[in-house]
């Protein structure tokens, strides 16, 4: 029995289904991200776990206790809101102390716990300030300290980093992971940012139209996406229409490609997915196919090329390792390792993919 | 076009000067003029006698005390009724919210004189209220021409001025904040008291400022529902001007009310600002 267990959880708003038959087990101490585009039901799922939205059907259990219909203020979960939802009329330390006060903790112990929580997020110096006197990143840390100080069994994070600017967001990602490791709290995070989900989660739940379409370790989700949607939502992918052509090979237009992905019927329509960074340039004529560079974009650490080939335009991502970059109009060979490509079922709608 | 701001604000400034500042200045001058019962105010002759009377005579003390007592009571009742009303309103969904907001604002669409007459019909010895109490075996009570009648009618008139500022500050509240308090084990009541109420306090305080100021200078309601005996400052001013024809004394009473009202409101405002500026901005 896992620590936090969702069984067949379903949510209807009137006739429209926001979350459909979602089942998920989260182990103690695990960091799980719900990843998906807006409107996929990830926030609704979090709201149901938190107790802010009633569950239409299904069951939510925490440590063996059924909390499906428990009131929000009896669940004792720590929540960090997207807007942080700090109490603006209270100082930082009063904000953090509020949850302990509600638990009628003696004052001396309370002060000590608040001090420890603020130290954990490096905000000792700002205890006496009001939220509006803090920067976005500092408010984020206060919200985190407020949620963690009550030592919740589960920490829920609702798009915690979406209101921060890019550099701070990256910094906070690792900070968040450090704190989570240090405290060891079971954590469920909602995010639409695949990079964020990949870099800090133990497992990622990809959601599409109210359904979980893949639940896996970040690297599995990236390297073995189960649907066309996942392969393009999580990272970029070159998707080529193909037909299975005997054992271990597919036919893409004029090109026969050997793959190590089996389990598809010969003759079945499939999609060949190759990540742009798995493609590499080789001298013309020596790769799997040749192409002509149509466009190139400088991304700092990498170059992104659009290459016209016999099977269509391909994106190729090369590290900026000091070698001379290819010019537009230049011809080049393209190659990839056999394990670098994936076969996906061709255009199956998201509903039936789960 | 450096002169543009002057031209643009010209009409308003002209109106303001012509209709407020000049009459106010004339009233101020008038309040120092000597009064002769035979000929009226004597221009060019000045005295402090009227102010001495207003500040020295217990009759005027009583009327000022009653005015501020009634105004404070009206402001308090408006807080107790209007703040919960605004909260309920803010939790409603459309179309109910729009409909109820219209109900709250409806009193502003009817002339205050018409409303005062309406209340006098309801509260009179043969009115609906006494008839209803009579049916229950109570009364009859004397309601009309008492402070009770004035307070009831003033609350009715002033309630929108309390609901609107409170509603505005409730609108500014992050809905996640109440959820945050609940997630930290606070009960709904504690959330309301510790989290929501302190944040709408500026709205409640500015609403009570408006209500107090308007109630203290109100004329029609105390005039029509207070009767000849129960006077408030504005009705005394009216009497001095139109019955006693002692314009300078009326002017002195009016300016004293203005000054007292201003002092109360500025003091109140300062108190509020000092408390909430740092936290709520």
pLDDT at A353: 38
Do B233 and B162 form a contact (C-beta atoms < 8 A)?
Answer: no
B97-130 pLDDT, tens digit each? 888 888 888 888 888 889 889 999 998 888 888 8
Do A244 and A265 form a contact (C-beta atoms < 8 A)?
Answer: yes
pLDDT at A18: 93
Mean local confidence (pLDDT), A262-277: 84
Q: What are phi and psi of B8, to 5 degrees?
A: -65, -35
Indicate the length of chain B as a whole number. 281
pLDDT at A249: 84
B200 to chain A: nearest residue by CA? A89
Distance from the Cα of A206 to chain B's closest Cα (Å) equals 25
pLDDT tier at A350 (50, 70, 90 boundaries)? Answer: very low
pLDDT at A1: 64
Q: Is the pLDDT of residue B152 over 80?
A: yes
Interface of A with B in 213-232 (CB under 8 A): none
Q: Hey, what are A38's tokens?
A: 């807006």
Mean pLDDT across chain B? 89
Find chain B residues with C-beta within 8 A of A74's C-beta.
185
Indicate the length of chain A as a whole number. 354
B6-65 pLDDT, tens digit each? 889 989 999 999 999 999 999 999 999 999 888 888 888 899 999 999 999 999 999 999
Decide which of A135 and A248 is more confident: A135
Task: For residue A72, give the nearest of B183, B278, B279 by CB distance.
Answer: B183
pLDDT at B142: 84
Question: Which residues fall within 8 angstroms of residue B2, CB to CB, at 6 or more apart?
Answer: none
A75 to chain B: nearest residue by CA? B183
Alpha carbon distance A78, A80 (integer Å): 7
Give residue for tokens 């903790």.
Answer: A105
Q: Which helix (H) or strand (E) holds B7?
A: helix B4-16
Burial of B188 (0-12, 13-18, 19+ CB in 10 A): middle
Domain boundaries, chain B: 47-95+159-280
Find chain A residues with C-beta within 8 A of B188's C-beta.
73
Distance, first Cα to last Cα, chain A? 23
pLDDT tier at A112 (50, 70, 90 boundaries)? Answer: very high
Radius of gyration, CA atoms only, chain B: 23
Do A315 and A194 form a contact (C-beta atoms < 8 A)?
Answer: no
pLDDT at A161: 87
Question: Which residues fall within 8 angstroms of residue A254, CB to CB, at 6 or more apart?
Answer: A310, A311
Question: Which residues fall within 8 angstroms of residue A302, CB to CB, at 6 or more apart?
Answer: A277, A317, A318, A319, A320
Closest CA to A217 of A32, A1, A26, A27: A32
pLDDT-above-70 percentage for chain A: 97
Find chain A residues with C-beta within 8 A of B276's C-beta.
89
Alpha carbon distance A32, A25 (integer Å): 10
Mean pLDDT across chain A? 89
Output the CA–CA distances (angstroms, integers) from residue A288 to A11, A326, A354, in the order listed.
48, 18, 34
- The strand pairing partners of A316, in sequence order, are A305
Output the CA–CA distances (angstroms, integers) from residue B52 to A243, B41, B235, in the order listed.
106, 17, 20
B190-204 pLDDT, tens digit each? 999 999 998 998 899
Distance from the Cα of B191 to chain A's closest Cα (Å) equals 10
Give residue for tokens 């440590």.
Answer: A63
Kindly report the pTM of this predicted structure: 0.81
Decide which of A286 and A79 is more confident: A79
Mean local confidence (pLDDT), A27-32: 94
A218-246 pLDDT, tens digit each? 999 998 888 888 888 888 889 888 888 87
3-state SS record for B125-169: CCCHHHHHHHHCCCCCCCCCCCHHHHHHHHHHHHHHHHHHHHHHH
Alpha carbon distance B38, B50 (integer Å): 17
Distance from the Cα of A83 to chain B's closest Cα (Å) equals 7
pLDDT tier at B253 (50, 70, 90 boundaries)? Answer: very high
Q: Hey, what are A29's tokens?
A: 């101490």
Q: Is the pLDDT of residue A110 over 50?
A: yes
Question: Which residues fall within 8 angstroms of residue B207, CB to CB, at 6 or more apart?
Answer: B78, B79, B82, B83, B161, B162, B163, B164, B165, B166
B179 and A73 within 8 Å at the Cβ level: the answer is no
pLDDT at A348: 54
User: What ipTM did this prediction achieve?
Assistant: 0.81
- The strand pairing partners of A343, in sequence order, are A272
pLDDT at B130: 85
Task: For residue A85, give the nearest of B174, B185, B276 by CB distance.
Answer: B174
Distance from the Cα of A53 to chain B's closest Cα (Å) equals 11
Q: Hey, what are A59's tokens?
A: 């069951």
In order of their start, the domains of chain A are 4-226 (3.40.50.300), 236-347 (2.40.50.140)
A81 and B182 within 8 Å at the Cβ level: the answer is no
pLDDT tier at B278 (50, 70, 90 boundaries)? Answer: low
Find chain A residues with C-beta within 8 A of B198's C-beta.
89
A193-213 pLDDT, tens digit each? 988 899 899 999 999 999 999
Q: Is the peptide bond before B275 cis (omega within 30 degrees of 0)?
A: no
CA B76, B81, B84, B90 dihedral sign is negative
- The strand pairing partners of A291, in sequence order, are A309, A332
In this complex, is the C-beta atom of A67 within 8 Å of any C-beta atom belonging to chain B? Answer: no
Decide which of B235 and A351 is more confident: B235
Alpha carbon distance A78, A179 (integer Å): 14
pLDDT at A101: 94
Task: For residue B279, give the nearest of A77, A85, A130 by CB distance.
Answer: A130
Find chain A residues with C-beta within 8 A of B199's C-beta.
88-89
A88 and B280 within 8 Å at the Cβ level: the answer is yes
Q: Which residues of A62-85 are buried (b: 16+ CB within 10 A; e: fewer)?
A: beeeebbeeebbebbbbbbbbbbb
How many helices (H) and strands (E) chain A has is answered by 10, 20
pLDDT at A79: 95
B172-222 pLDDT, tens digit each? 888 889 999 999 999 999 999 999 998 998 899 889 999 999 999 999 899
pLDDT at A247: 73
Helix axes B112-123 and B128-135, enclosed angle (nearest 10): 30
pLDDT at B131: 87
Q: How many CB pairs under 8 A join A and B?
A: 72
pLDDT at A352: 40
Does CATH number 1.10.3720.10 belong to domain B47-95+159-280? Answer: yes
Do B246 and B240 form a contact (C-beta atoms < 8 A)?
Answer: yes
A128 to chain B: nearest residue by CA? B279
Mean local confidence (pLDDT), B162-167: 93
In this complex, is the C-beta atom of A99 within 8 Å of any C-beta atom belonging to chain B? Answer: yes
pLDDT at B155: 94
pLDDT at B281: 60
Most confident of A165-174, A201-210, B267-276: A201-210
Q: Which alpha helices (H) appear in chain A, and where do they start and end?
A: 42-50, 72-75, 92-102, 107-120, 136-148, 166-183, 194-200, 218-223, 228-233, 350-353
B70-93 pLDDT, tens digit each? 999 999 999 999 999 999 998 888
pLDDT at B66: 94
In this complex, is the C-beta atom of A151 within 8 Å of any C-beta atom belonging to chain B? Answer: no
pLDDT tier at B271 (50, 70, 90 boundaries)? Answer: confident
């Amino acid at each position: 029995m896992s620590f936090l267990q969702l069984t067949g959880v379903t949510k209807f708003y009137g006739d429209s289904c926001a979350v459909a038959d979602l089942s998920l087990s989260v182990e103690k101490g695990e960091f799980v991200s719900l990843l998906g585009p807006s409107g996929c039901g990830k926030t609704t799922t979090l709201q149901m776990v938190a107790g802010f939205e009633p569950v239409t059907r299904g069951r939510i259990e925490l440590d063996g206790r059924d909390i499906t219909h428990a009131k929000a203020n009896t669940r004792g979960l720590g929540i960090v809101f997207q807007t942080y939802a700090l109490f603006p009329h209270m100082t930082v330390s009063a904000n953090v102390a509020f949850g302990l006060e509600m638990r009628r903790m003696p004052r001396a112990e309370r002060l000590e716990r608040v001090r420890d929580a603020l130290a954990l997020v490096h905000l000792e110096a700002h205890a006496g300030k009001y939220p509006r006197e803090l920067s976005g990143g500092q408010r984020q840390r206060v919200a985190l300290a407020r949620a963690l100080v009550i030592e919740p069994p589960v920490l829920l994070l609702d798009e915690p980093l979406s209101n921060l600017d890019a550099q701070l967001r990256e910094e906070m990602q690792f900070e968040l992971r450090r704190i989570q490791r240090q405290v060891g709290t079971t954590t469920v995070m909602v995010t639409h940012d695949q990079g964020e989900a990949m870099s800090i989660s133990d497992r990622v739940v990809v959601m599409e139209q109210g359904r979980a379409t893949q639940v896996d370790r970040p690297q599995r989700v990236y390297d073995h996406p189960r649907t066309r949607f996942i392969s393009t939502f999580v990272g970029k992918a070159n998707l080529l229409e193909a037909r299975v052509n005997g054992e271990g090979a597919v036919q893409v237009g004029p090109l026969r490609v050997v793959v190590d992905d089996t389990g598809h019927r010969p003759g079945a329509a499939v999609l060949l997915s190759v990540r742009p960074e798995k493609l590499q340039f080789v001298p013309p004529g020596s790769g799997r196919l040749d192409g002509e560079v149509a466009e190139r974009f400088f991304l700092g650490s990498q170059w992104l090329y659009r290459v016209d080939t016999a099977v269509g335009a391909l994106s190729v991502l090369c590290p900026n390792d000091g070698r001379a970059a290819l010019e537009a109009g230049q011809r080049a060979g393209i190659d990839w390792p056999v394990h670098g490509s994936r076969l996906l079922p061709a255009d199956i709608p998201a509903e039936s993919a789960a | 076009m450096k002169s543009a701001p002057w031209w643009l604000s010209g009409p308003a400034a002209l109106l303001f000067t012509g209709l407020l500042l000049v009459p106010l200045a004339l009233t101020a001058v008038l309040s120092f003029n000597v009064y002769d019962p035979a000929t009226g105010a004597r221009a060019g002759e000045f005295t402090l006698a009227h102010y001495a009377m207003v500040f020295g005579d217990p009759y005027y003390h009583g009327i000022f005390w009653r005015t501020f007592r009634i105004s404070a009571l009206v402001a308090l009742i408006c807080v107790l009724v209007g703040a919960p009303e605004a909260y309920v309103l803010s939790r409603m969904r459309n179309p109910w919210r729009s409909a109820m907001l219209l109900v709250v604002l409806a009193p502003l669409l009817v002339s205050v004189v018409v409303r005062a007459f309406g209340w006098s019909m309801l509260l009179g010895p043969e009115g609906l209220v006494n008839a209803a109490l009579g049916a229950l075996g109570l009364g009859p009570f004397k309601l009309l021409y008492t402070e009770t009648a004035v307070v009831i009618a003033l609350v009715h008139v002033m309630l929108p001025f309390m609901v609107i500022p409170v509603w505005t500050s409730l609108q500014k509240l992050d809905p996640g904040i109440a959820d945050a308090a609940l997630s930290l084990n606070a009960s709904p009541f504690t959330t309301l008291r510790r989290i929501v109420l302190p944040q709408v306090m500026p709205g409640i305080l500015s609403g009570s400022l408006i209500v107090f100021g308007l109630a203290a200078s109100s004329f029609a309601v105390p005039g029509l529902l207070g009767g000849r005996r129960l006077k408030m400052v504005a009705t005394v001013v009216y009497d001095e001007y139109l019955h006693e024809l002692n314009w300078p004394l009326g002017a002195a009473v009016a300016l004293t009310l203005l000054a007292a009202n201003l002092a109360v409101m500025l003091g109140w405002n300062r108190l509020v600002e000092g408390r909430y500026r740092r936290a709520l901005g």
